[in-house]
Amino acid sequence: MIKIKLVVTALLMVTLVVGVLPVFAGCGTTPPAGNLTPLLIGGSFGVTGAYPEDCLAVLAAFQDYAKYVNDNHKLASWVGAPTFPSDIELTVVSMDDGGTNTAWAISNYATLKAQGLLVQRISGSAIANALKATLAADQVGATSQASGSYLLSAAAVNRTIFMNYPIYTDQGASIAEWFVANWVAGGNTTPPNVSYLTNNTFGRTLIPPATSALQNYLISLGYNITGTHILPAAPITADYDAALTACKNENANLTLGAMLCSESEPCMVEAKALGMGPDSGYPGWSYNITFGLCSPSHLNVFLRDKGATCGNGLVVAGSYPSWDDTCAGVTFCKLLQTTYRPSAQITHVMYMHGLVEAMIQVEAMRLAMINTGKTADQLTSADVLTQGFRMITGLDTGGIVPTTITYDSAGDVEGAGTVRLDQAQGGADLVLGLSYPLRHLYP
Amino acid sequence: MSLARGTFNQSYAQDMAILRTKTQWVTLLAFLAFLFTCPLFIGETWLTLMIIIGISVISVQGLNILTGYCGQISLGHTGFMLAGGYTSAILCDKLGFSFWAALPCAALVAGLVGLIFGLPSLRVKGFYLIMATVAAYFIIAWVIFQSYGGAFGLTAPRPEILGMVLKSNASYFYVVMIIACLATLAAANIVRSRVGRAFIAIRDNDLAAEVMGINIWAYKLLAFFIGCVFAGVAGSLQAHYCGWASIEIFPFLDSIWYLGMLIVGGMGSISGAILGAVSLRLLDYLVTIAAPMLAAAFPAIAPQAAASLSLIMRGLVIIVFLIFEPRGLAHLWERIKAYFRLWPFSH
């Protein structure tokens, strides 16, 4: 009994004592050697919480990219990439915000700002909504892992969160355009039916209200909007059956939604069991439906986890390229990993996202120095925002983002100019088309 | 309450007093002085942590009254916080109320919502009541999602005093701590009143309580109302701290963690609610430090370690306390004090 008491008391003491450790741990940075001027990049990352794999990949990309720029003094490995001053050393700072913990994100923002970080980053939509007013008031630019239309609700001068792929409504519109073109070309004369099908975690933020621009655009394309259904974040047979059966009862031909985790992708096995599914070549389909997903879904995540069961009808808008792609951006990612983490390479697609975010932050600071004539240690966050982020024009990401990235002071914070569509066919990634323009559909 | 050696109660007032001796008064005042001078010497991270702890204390005190004192187990507490947070945001964002007017309205609305979902407690108890309260969370979330703000949420501005917006963490810290202290005092006074004794009687044996003449119907609903009022206050504070009221900042899992805080701290104890909130929130913070270290040390399992460490640690602590110290930290503290009261002559 005494031993048990001692164990419990010791556990409590350890918890209390270790809670004091942060006083000494801190998150300070090591000053650069020699005459190099330090410049911080990074921000708040959700390395614990619901999506650590994604955020760890993003953080790893930041770290590798900073090392590359410090070693090579240029922004990318391909010919024509801008150079970066050799008297500046980039250092990545990171604090954990749990992915969705807004209180931690608010605290991290203040701490990192006090440390001299001139930019910030957003891990998720909850944090974006919580911080956007503060970032605007403090004139701090931030790169973002989130891409919701809530980032466009403020006036142009207050938009300080910069995405690198179009918002989900524009992506959904592209899927709808692609589908209706194929629908008509296939000889169908009746209007196609579309249903929203999405998971709980992110999907709720992606279901537009009835008066939204996306809703109106779908109707203008000739769609009937038949319903909205929520799938669970983890596959539970009964819930899948209910949602999929509802789509079938509504005669839905296309579903639009977003699912971050492949576990919550419309379960093709369940769809097959219900006698419905995309045109995957399986015999005996009694009902054809195409599942369309918008960012932050990524097709290569689904293909990695689901393979051939994705069928031929899973269409994803806003994906990054697969690791087999030969574009310069993917080659650069591989170069970074073989150079800086040869024994612990990361295959998660969000490594590419991290690279793009890091490139945007560094480019913003590079442009700010050029446009203001200030040195790195004289820059302010307002300089980086107004003379950096908003001046980025034609930033080449080597094909990771389908177009070069351009922002402006008139409120364009989406970055990419077109929507990339990918379709799963036979377990492989097929690029459908890259030239779907943004329709700028903001609810 | 165990008194120091040589201290005896000679009147009812002394017997009922929360703080009886000068030592207790001095200790409390010293603690309050330390608490309210904290912002002068702690950093932003610790201020955030203490704000989160303060909000948790308010919420857990409410849950303590409902579950700890009245025995009505609720796993929908975050739903009532959500109701309070959204009410406050609607009043401030859409109707132009000030925070100080919206806060009591949020508390009242959350209390009324709690009354509605407390009705099942009149017919069911135990596991079935738990399921009813779980349903309460999802029903509240669904109603809010379908109507006000929807999935996008609502802006919840920071409070203002005399035209000054309390933007900084330090200023909001004072707001939260003052309200947390008032909530703790209110909870302490409720439980030592006639109402509190009725709650305890219902918890211990509701049939015997009814036979004694206690109106079970009224007091159970009152427990739900009071508990949810506290939740509404906590929800309003949380929404205004985050600047945004959304379902995402009031997840269902938090209901389980609040109950866990009560278990760890000690059910049926005002100090237990505080100890539980402090210890589990500190544990959360410890995890944010330990998880990246663990991920760096074991890269092969880094994402899994980072994702699961928080859940594992919280669950482990709750299980350890359920097995070895079911009456929580408050009881453990009382035993430690009792041990040293007669030390070295403990036997």
Whether B52 shows a pLDDT value over 90: the answer reads: yes
Predicted confidence band of residue A300 (pLDDT cuts 50, 70, 90): confident
Q: CB A53 to CB B307 under 8 A? A: yes
The answer, yes or no, to whether residue B327 has pLDDT greater than 70, is yes
The count of C-alpha atoms lying within 13 angstroms of the C-alpha of A387, restricted to the half-sphere facing its C-beta, is 17
Cα dihedral A281→A282→A287→A290 (10° resolution)? -50
Residues of B in contact with A340 (CB under 8 A): none
Distance CA A161, CA A143 (A): 6
Q: Who has greater pLDDT, A266 or A376? A: A376
Mean pLDDT calculated for residue range A321-346: 90
Chain A CB contacts of B150 under 8 Å are 209
| pLDDT value at residue B124 | 87
Asked if A19 lies within 8 A of B155 by C-beta distance, the reply is no
Q: How far is CA A275 from CA A31, A91, A250, B178, in A?
A: 62, 54, 15, 61
Q: CA–CA separation, A300 vs B250, rounded Å?
A: 31
Q: What is the pLDDT of residue B306?
A: 67
Asked whether the predicted pLDDT for residue A352 surpasses 70, the reply is yes
Instruction: Give residue-wise pLDDT tens across range A218-229.
Output: 999 999 988 777
Asked if A22 has any chain B CB less than 8 Å from its own CB, the reply is yes
Radius of gyration of chain B (CA): 21
Q: Is A1's Cβ below 8 Å from some Cβ in B? A: no
Contact B320 A8 (CB under 8 A): yes
Neighbours of A321 (CB within 10 A): 25
A145 vs A39: which has the higher pLDDT: A39
Given this model, what pLDDT does residue A405 score?
92
Q: Three-class SS of residue A143?
A: strand
Q: pLDDT band at residue B84, thresholds of 50, 70 and 90? A: very high
Closest Cα in chain A, distance from residue B255 (Å): 16
Distance of CA B178 to the CA centre of its chain: 15
**Cβ within 8 Å, pair A22-B285:** yes
Chain B (222-281) residues lying within 8 Å, Cβ to Cβ, of chain A? 238, 241-244, 246-249, 251, 279
- Measured over the CA atoms of residue A189, residue A191, residue A193 and residue A194, the dihedral's sign is positive
DSSP assigned state of B252: T
Q: What separation in angstroms does the CA of A392 have from each of A355, A395, A414? A: 16, 7, 12
**Residue A8 pLDDT greater than 70, yes or no:** no
Taking contacts as CB-CB distances below 8 angstroms, the residues of chain B near A344 are 299
End-to-end CA distance of chain B: give it in Å, rounded.
Answer: 21
CB-based contact (8 Å) between B297 and chain A?
Answer: no
Q: Which of A24, A51, A129 to mutate to test the interface with B (most CBs of B within 10 A)?
A: A129
CB atoms within 10 A of CB B193: 12
Tens digit of pLDDT for each residue in A68-81?
999 999 999 988 88
Per mean pLDDT, which of A17-26, B2-11, B332-341 is the most reliable? B332-341
Contact present, B199 and B227 (Cβ < 8 Å): no
Q: Please indicate if any CB of chain B lies within 8 Å of the CB of A8.
A: yes
The CA distance from B40 to A103, in Å, is 20
d(CA A248, CA A240): 12
pLDDT at A314: 78
Amino acid A202: pLDDT: 45
Q: Is the pLDDT of residue A264 over 70?
A: no
Mean pLDDT of all residues in chain B?
A: 89
Asked if omega into A296 is within 30° of 0 (cis), the reply is yes
Which of A14-18, A150-154, A208-212 has the weakest average pLDDT? A14-18
B43 touching A (Cβ < 8 Å): yes
- pLDDT tens for B63-80 read 999 999 999 999 999 999
Torsion of CA A332, A334, A340, A344, to 10 degrees: 160
Sequential DSSP letters for B135-152: HHHHHHHHHHHHSSSGGG
Closest residue to A11, CB basis, from B48, B302, B320: B320
What is the identity of the amino acid at B146? Q
ipTM for the predicted complex: 0.75
Residue A22, pLDDT above cutoff 50:
no
d(CA A30, CA A362): 19
**Confidence grade of residue A28 (pLDDT, cut at 50, 70, 90):** very low
* CB-based contact A133 B247, cutoff 8 Å: no
State which of A191-195, B111-115, B288-292 shows the largest mean pLDDT: B111-115
Check if A363 contacts B (Cβ < 8 Å): no
Cβ under 8 Å to B: A residues 226-285: none
B302 or A40: which carries more pLDDT confidence? A40
Q: Are B78 and B137 in contact (CB under 8 A)?
A: yes
Lowest-confidence range among A194-198, A215-219, A284-288, B101-105? A284-288
**pLDDT of A441:** 78
Mean of the per-residue pLDDT values of chain A: 81
Give A112-149 pLDDT, tens digit per residue: 998 899 999 998 888 888 888 889 989 999 999 887 77
* Residue A182: band (very low, low, confident or very high) from pLDDT cuts 50, 70, 90: confident
Q: Any idea what DSSP says for residue B38?
A: G
Question: Out of B241, B242, B287, whose CB is closest to A48?
Answer: B287
Q: What is the mean pLDDT of residues A49-75?
A: 90
Which residues from B are below 8 Å from A48, CB to CB? Answer: 287-288, 291-292, 306-307, 309-310
- Tell if the CB–CB gap between A205 and B288 is shorter than 8 Å: no
Average pLDDT value for residue range B152-162: 85
Total Cβ atoms within 10 A of residue B164:
9
**CA nearest to A367, candidates A388, A395, A382:** A388
**Which among B153, B244, B325 has CB closest to A8?**
B325
Q: Above 60 in pLDDT, residue A204?
A: no
* Phi-psi sector, B168: left (phi>0), alpha (psi -120 to 50), beta: beta
pLDDT above 60 (res A21): no
* The dihedral formed by the CA atoms of A341, A51, B56 and B37, expressed in degrees to the nearest 10: 30
d(CA A255, CA A236): 19
Q: Are A164 and A416 in contact (CB under 8 A)?
A: yes
Q: In this predicted structure, what is the pLDDT of residue B7? A: 75
Closest CA of chain B from A60, distance in Å: 11
CA dist list (Å): A110 to A28, A135, B119: 14, 11, 44
Structure tokens at A295: 């960012």
Which residue from A80, A172, A154, A159 is spatially nearest to A122, judged by alpha carbons? A159
Across the A/B interface, how many CB contacts are shorter than 8 Å? 129
Please answer whether residues A416 and A403 qualify as being in contact, where contact means their C-beta atoms are separated by less than 8 angstroms: yes
Instruction: Work out the minimum CA distance from B278 to partner chain A, whole angstroms.
Output: 9
Residues 6+ apart with CB under 8 A from A308: A426, A427
Please compute the mean of the pLDDT values over residues A25-48 and round it to a whole number: 72
pLDDT band at residue A263 using 50, 70 and 90 as cut-offs = low
Q: Are A427 and A198 in contact (CB under 8 A)?
A: no
List residues bridging with A423 in a β-sheet.
A315, A430
- pLDDT exceeds 50 at position A25: no
Phi, psi dihedrals of residue A15, rounded to the nearest 5°: -60, -45
Task: Sort out which chain A residues have CB atoms less than 8 A from B48's CB and list them.
Answer: 103-104, 106-107
Option in A21, A52, A130 nearest B307 (CB): A52
Q: Label residue A210 by pLDDT band (50, 70, 90).
A: low
- Please write the tens of the pLDDT for every residue from B182-221: 999 999 999 999 999 999 999 999 999 999 999 999 999 9
d(CA B9, CA A368) in angstroms, rounded, equals 73
Indicate the SS3 state at residue B36: helix
DSSP one-letter code for B176: H
Spatial separation of the C-alpha atoms in residues A361 and A62, rounded to whole Å? 10
Residue of B173, B286, B347 to mutate, testing the A interface (most A Cβ within 10 Å of its Cβ): B286
Alpha carbons A221 and B123: distance in angstroms, whole number: 53
Question: In this structure, what token pair is assigned to residue B200?
Answer: 């305890």
For residue A222, the distance in angstroms to the closest alpha carbon of chain B comes to 26
CA torsion B75-B78-B84-B87 (nearest 10°) is: -110
Alpha carbons A214 and A442: distance in angstroms, whole number: 7
The predicted structure's pLDDT at residue A29: 47
In the prediction, which pLDDT does B83 show? 95
| Local confidence band at B304 (pLDDT 50, 70, 90 cut-offs) | low
Q: What is the mean pLDDT of residues B150-162?
A: 81
pLDDT in tens, A239-255: 677 778 888 888 888 88
Contact by Cβ (8 Å): B317, B331: no
pLDDT of residue B182: 96
More confident residue, B205 or A51: B205
Cα A58 to Cα A272, B108, B222: the distances in Å are 35, 44, 50
Q: Answer with the residue of higher pLDDT: A4 or B24.
A: B24
Report pLDDT digits (tens) over B89-126. 999 988 999 999 999 999 999 999 999 999 988 888 88
Per-residue pLDDT, averaged over B278-292, amounts to 86
